[in-house]
Amino acid sequence: MIAVFYAMDGEIGEPLEGFSIKEEILLGERQENKRKRFRGIVRKGAIQGREIVLAQTGIWRTGLFGHKGNTQAREVAEYVVERYHPEKILVVGIGGGMEEQLKPGALIVCDPVYAEAKCPVFPIFTRTRQPIHPDEQMTSLAVEVLKERGVTFYSGGDIQSTGYSWIRKRYPGTKIVEMEDYFIAAVAQARNIPFLAVRVVSEPYGEKLDTSPEYQALWLERYLRITTLLRDEFLLPFLQRL
């Protein structure tokens, strides 16, 4: 069984053609007030004749002073591993580009994944963690699939962080920033499960997020385009080959 993790609705270009749901589990509740929090959705099913788990983690939830990192992504990963015992773990989704040449839609085969949590109140409580490298066979297969399909892609570092300005100095070669991968990878590493993270750039480096209706409409159009690309040009062909 393969477990595929992602953060937000539609991030894998849902629905996945041919995916039949056999079990759906809502972890916690969608956040409607301060006492309710969305903690993930896990769907077990089959695609292309093979069992698969799709696990939506939701977006960032950090522990005290950031020392636990993204506790929500880790908790969902731990739940999936303990319940389903996947043979392989794949993390996919969008992220912010960290180099000027990385335009929206650029695919990144992430190696390694980093995390550095900075406490916004007390910067002294910064924890740098050892990088985690993906499984070599899964990485080679991802590269092979993308080359076969003629998709332009990049290989490079992936960092989980809440800040941008200092990343390029501390982690040269980092291609993308996101909020889930490291702690899913850490769960996989602790249990000796092969893992891989593949991300697609949603915002180029230096782009300022805007709340205007015009920008939001542009972002939604871009989001739909790049998530469809991720699904059709990587995720489904990759699952066929695993």
pLDDT digits (tens, 9 = 90+) for 36-57: 566 789 999 998 788 999 999 9
Lowest-confidence pick of 40-54, 115-129, 163-177: 115-129
Report the largest interatomic distance among the alpha carbons of the chain, rounded to a whole angstrom: 51
Mean pLDDT on 94-123: 83
Q: What was the pLDDT predicted at 77?
A: 95
**Nearest to residue 138, comparing CAs of 71, 98, 181, 197?**
197
Compute φ and ψ for 239, nearest 5 degrees: -65, -35
- In angstroms, rounded to a whole number, what is the distance separating the alpha carbons of residues 209 and 134? 31
- In angstroms, rounded to a whole number, what is the distance separating the alpha carbons of residues 158 and 114? 6
- In angstroms, rounded to a whole number, what is the distance separating the alpha carbons of residues 33 and 133? 38
On the CB side of 220, how many CA atoms lie within 13 Å of its CA?
Answer: 7
How is 220-236 classified by DSSP, letter by letter?
HHHHHHHHHHHIIIIIH
Q: What was the pLDDT predicted at 71?
A: 78
- In angstroms, rounded to a whole number, what is the distance separating the alpha carbons of residues 152 and 21? 32
Element (H, E) at 51: strand 50-56
Mean pLDDT on 88-106: 94
Q: List 212's β-bridge partners, or say none.
A: none
Radius of gyration of the chain (CA): 17
Compute φ and ψ for 42, nearest 5 degrees: -120, 125
Whole-number average pLDDT of the chain: 86
Q: What was the pLDDT predicted at 179?
A: 85
Terminal-to-terminal C-alpha distance of the chain: 10
Q: Are 182 and 160 in contact (CB under 8 A)?
A: yes
Ordered domains of the chain (ranges, CATH): 2-241 (3.40.50.1580)
Task: Provide the percentage of residues in the chain whose pLDDT is more than 90.
Answer: 55
**Nearest to residue 183, comparing CAs of 69, 93, 63?**
69
Q: What was the pLDDT predicted at 120?
A: 53
Q: pLDDT at residue 220 above 80?
A: yes
Place of tokens 């759906």: 24
Q: What was the pLDDT predicted at 31?
A: 46
Q: What was the pLDDT predicted at 162?
A: 58
How is 108-127 classified by DSSP, letter by letter?
EEEEEEEEEE--SS-TT--E
Mean pLDDT on 183-191: 95
pTM for the structure as a whole: 0.89
Tokens for 219, please give them. Answer: 């972002």
Q: Are 13 and 54 in contact (CB under 8 A)?
A: no
